[in-house]
Amino acid sequence: MFESPIARHLPLPPLQPGDWLGLLGGGQLGRMFCMAAQSLGFRVCVLDPGADSPAGAVADRHLCAGYEDPQALAELGRLCRAVTTEFENVPASALDLLAAGMVVSPAGASVAVAQDRIVEKAFVRDCGTPVAPYAEIRSAADLRAADPGLFPGILKAARLGYDGKGQARVADVHEALAAFDRFGGVPCVLERRLDLAMEVSVVVARGFDGLQLAYPVSENVHRDGILALSTVPARVSQDVAWRATDAALKIAQAMDYVGVLCVEFFVLSDGSLVVNEMAPRPHNSGHYSIDACVSSQFEQQARVMAGLPLGSVRQLAPAVMINLLGDIWFEDAQARTPREPDWAAVLRHPQAKLHLYGKTEARRGRKMGHVTVLGDSLDEAMSVAIQIERQLGITG
């Protein structure tokens, strides 16, 4: 457990069981937030345009409307004592509007930083934490003038990219120009591809009182740009774990962040760290905390916005989290009709915890759930996780 010696803010009067918490966004992160908040006695109102959203299905109330709908925002503000978000692409303007009359965490300004890769990279760099060498790309001319040392690289759209979307590996300026054209000429960053040893992430919870705690470092494996496997604690040296944690806490402090924040890092082959990106919300790589930690990242999100003390981030058992994508609903690459995976086979492993998100349609590449495998040792948890992946037909 890490706590930073930072200046305290005046704490909120804690909200009481029965009070309403608001949530912008109806995805699986919101679903898990609802369940955690309800276990603390709160009621949750979700604002999301999807009629059958995972969070809306379990919330105490669902406002089915757009995130900038004035009537829906007014109703959310009338009903709820505090509001949060479950994804970074919610309009920061909606958070700013709500903040005029209620508690909002994270603040719109913090969300806005993470919504734009250009702004985010400059902010992280100004915090004294390295990022991959990059150039801001706002036109084809910027690409032609880019440092040749940035190739081979990755061109990333500055906004609305996630799970590998809005990204293209580019070997040279010609490939970069073609990708820029495919992206519609939107602002981008061009990053140099680095020699990676692994990717890790740190989830931080920070309260209105300035207290901040960091969960154990997660070691992450991505397949096709989507998180596939998280191993916690990460198999890195104590020095790398400490440096990643310290950097994440410093970023949260510099943003005056309130809520749950995830910072993703690249660990280079020489042991150095660079920040990849951050997410102003609970993160896929922190899902293991539901089963493996004293307090989950979603419980922390509810505690923070209610003005309650943070819970312990202590990990109770080594864990491996398997992301379940819609691909496993299809028997093979040619199959067009989905069928239910064999969940009984998964649950025959007594240390496996299954979480399904209640999505009505399975699609390839869509996050449908996750399995967390606990073990007396990390080797044991990994061995069972590998067996489960094979049983479900997950390859990579």
Binding site listing for ATP: 117, 156, 161-167, 191-194, 199, 222, 276-277
**Cα 55 to Cα 49: distance, rounded to the nearest angstrom:** 11
What are the CA-CA distances from residue 66 to residues 72, 210, 359 (Å)? 8, 32, 20
Q: Which residues pair with 82 in a beta bridge?
A: 21, 103
First to last CA, the chain: 33
**Cα 86 to Cα 64: distance, rounded to the nearest angstrom:** 16
Q: Is 384 exposed, middle or buried (0-12, 13-18, 19+ CB in 10 A)?
A: buried
Q: Say if residues 73 and 336 touch (Cβ distance below 8 Å).
A: no
Q: Which residues pair with 221 in a beta bridge?
A: 229
Both tokens of residue 367? 């996050």
Both tokens of residue 104? 């909002």
**Cα 84 to Cα 89: distance, rounded to the nearest angstrom:** 13
**Cα 203 to Cα 214: distance, rounded to the nearest angstrom:** 6
Residues sharing a CB contact under 8 Å with residue 221, sequence separation 6 or more, in sequence order = 199, 227, 228, 229, 230, 231, 396
- Return binding residues: 117, 156, 161-167, 191-194, 199, 222, 276-277
Q: Give the Cα-Cα-Cα angle 332, 338, 334 (nearest 5 degrees).
A: 30
